[in-house]
Amino acid sequence: MAADDLEFADIKRTIETGRIRRKFTRDPRGTRYEIVGRSTDEREVGIICRIKNTGKLLFITVYVL
């Protein structure tokens, strides 16, 4: 995230404007999702995340495509 010069506002916008591109279902810890959308400066961003049992969203990695 820092290497790609992304901020939390970019992550928020990516989730709001993006779509789930892939689901990874074979992980015993739970399903992971790849969300792809646009950052605040219109770069294409990918987010790998998981929804925890608590209902909270866990960000695994965030990157510019």
Closest CA to 34 of 15, 9, 56: 15
Residue 4: predicted pLDDT: 75
Which residues in the chain land under pLDDT 50?
none
At residue 58, the 3 state secondary structure works out as strand
Amino acid making up residue 24: F
**Rounded CA separation 21/37 (Å):** 10
